[in-house]
Amino acid sequence: MRTPTNVFALQARFLAVVSHELRTPLTTIASFTESLDTDDLAPAERSVALAAVRRNTDRMLALVEDLMVVSRLQTGDLELWPTTVDPGAVIREVAELLASQEPYTAATVRTSDGPPLSADAPLLRDLFYAVVGTVASGAADRSAAVSTEAGDAGWRITVTARQSEKLTDEHLMAGMLADPDPPHRRRSTALWMLLADAIANRHGGSVELTFDPATGAGAEIRLPLTIPTE
């Protein structure tokens, strides 16, 4: 359960991400719409302007869909489909997906044995992909190390990147990460982390970005063995 302070912080982060994500496509649409409102625009230039408007409109529609998913996760309106999941297997799958979608980004994985999780498998994959991809892409060598630890209370997944500075909001909004599923649309890492936080919380867990001068930037994911019931 989130405290009021955490809820307000999440709302502020949500609004900051929305404002950032909308600014670029809206600015582009406004600019090209203004250019279309002239009679001396050549046919080729008009086609370029219309294509830009369509492309950025599609980008905004996709963003709205992403934000609706985040909102429904936060409110509990998105139904989960829990299955028995091996976190280590999902993380190894994520490392392979990351290597295929972000060729210069890599994650080394060291998993430990432990009890399976009861979780929504596709959402869990997106959670791990978002966090591992965000941490790795923020490092100078675009690599991260992932380790897992299981206990009676659940699983702890630690992601670290030695060659990385602290992941600030500015870093997250500037970073980009491709969706592992077609059409492989690129999202800002700020949006990915917003989604990751919502997925973890919906499963009764948490995601926290970390930084230690000795070990670099990273993140810690905590997940209980079963999804709490209201």
- Which three-class secondary structure state does DSSP give residue 129? helix
Class in CATH terms, 82-223: alpha beta
- Could you identify the residue written with the tokens 């995601």? 207
Fold of 4-75: Helix Hairpins (1.10.287)
pLDDT range class, residue 9, cuts 50, 70, 90? low
CA dist list (Å): 43 to 39, 40, 49, 174: 10, 9, 10, 34
Output the pLDDT for position 11. 63
CA dist list (Å): 131 to 25, 66, 136: 25, 16, 9
Report, as an integer, the average pLDDT of 99-115: 92
What amino acid occupies position 134? Answer: T
Q: What is the Cα–Cα distance from 98 to 230, expressed in whole angstroms?
A: 34
Domain chopping of the chain, boundaries = 4-75, 82-223
pLDDT in tens, 133-171: 999 999 999 999 999 999 888 999 999 998 888 998 888
Does the pLDDT of residue 8 top 80, yes or no?
no
Output the pLDDT for position 19. 78
CA dist list (Å): 196 to 41, 171, 190, 209: 44, 16, 10, 11
pLDDT range class, residue 192, cuts 50, 70, 90? very high
pLDDT range class, residue 219, cuts 50, 70, 90? very high
